[in-house]
A and B are shown apart, each in its own frame.
Chain A
Amino acid sequence: GAVVSQHPSWVICKSGTSVKIECRSLDFQATTMFWYRQFPKQSLMLMATSNEGSKATYEQGVEKDKFLINHASLTLSTLTVTSAHPEDSSFYICSADSPWATGELFFGEGSRLTVL
């Protein structure tokens, strides 16, 4: 159990286009999901906390209009990178809160975005 799946795994897009990344909890319901960004050979930086049915909470320095997060159901959160530019190229990882109150997070496989 506790599988989190991201789609797509890889995406290449042209500068100026928008890209949507999906994060799904496959066998459990996730009230809270987290979106992280990871630059090459660096650690994970929390971008935002997504709560089902409410607006996401963004970390300082993360543009909410740039990175749109929607958590419309207990099994799906989406991250849309709007008007993507090459500097948005990164590895985006989502995670979901454990529904069993164990305090751990379950991570997706990550989505690599390359903006040309």
Chain B
Amino acid sequence: AQSVTQPDIHITVSEGASLELRCNYSYGATPYLFWYVQSPGQGLQLLLKYFSGDTLVQGIKGFEAEFKRSQSSFNLRKPSVHWSDAAEYFCAVGARNAGNMLTFGGGTRLMVKP
């Protein structure tokens, strides 16, 4: 079974600073990988996804993530954080042989200082 670990429960960065949110997964083959963002009391919005091909994927809102097979990681990055980026971020893995069932990491809450 697949699993996802987001080591950082909370992260605080200053507005304009760079951001990296960590995600490690466990899966026997190449998984589908996703990053979602959730604002308080809201559903989830897809930021980006990796299925195959280029290991550096670009997403919405200026986010990008890099799939590193050797490290079983899919870290999310943004060069300059905006106050509106404050939210909960979830990394998720989907098994290629299990339909579209996703397993989510525990989430990282991002706070942005002015």
A: which residues have CB within 8 A of B?
4, 6, 32, 34, 36, 41-46, 49, 91, 93, 95, 97-98, 103-110, 112
Contacts of B101 on A, CB cut-off 8 Å?
34, 46, 49
Within the complex, the shortest CB–CB distance from A55 to chain B, in Å, comes to: 16
Within the complex, the shortest CB–CB distance from A65 to chain B, in Å, comes to: 22
Instruction: List B residues 90-114 near A (Cβ within 8 Å).
Output: 90, 94, 99-107, 109
Contacts of A4 on B, CB cut-off 8 Å?
43
Cβ-defined contact, B46 with A110, below 8 A: no
CA distance A46 to B51 in the complex (A): 21
Cβ-defined contact, A43 with B106, below 8 A: yes
Determine whether B67 belongs to the interface, using a CB cutoff of 8 Å to chain A.
Answer: no
Instruction: List B residues 7-45 near A (Cβ within 8 Å).
Output: 32, 34, 36, 41-45
Known: A109-B42, A109-B43, A110-B42. A103 touches B103 (CB 8 A): no
> Interface of chain B, helix or strand or loop or mixed?
strand
Within the complex, the shortest CB–CB distance from A88 to chain B, in Å, comes to: 18
CA distance A112 to B101 in the complex (A): 22
Instruction: List B residues 78-93 near A (Cβ within 8 Å).
Output: 90
Known: A108-B43, A112-B41. A42 touches B107 (CB 8 A): yes
State the 5 A-B residue pairs at the shortest beta-carbon distance, nearest first. Answer: A107-B44, A109-B43, A107-B43, A44-B104, A43-B106
Cβ-defined contact, B100 with A44, below 8 A: no
Cβ-defined contact, A32 with B100, below 8 A: yes
CA distance A46 to B95 in the complex (A): 14
14 contacts between A and B (CB under 8 A): A41-B109, A42-B106, A43-B105, A43-B107, A44-B44, A44-B90, A45-B104, A46-B101, A49-B99, A91-B41, A103-B100, A104-B46, A109-B42, A110-B42
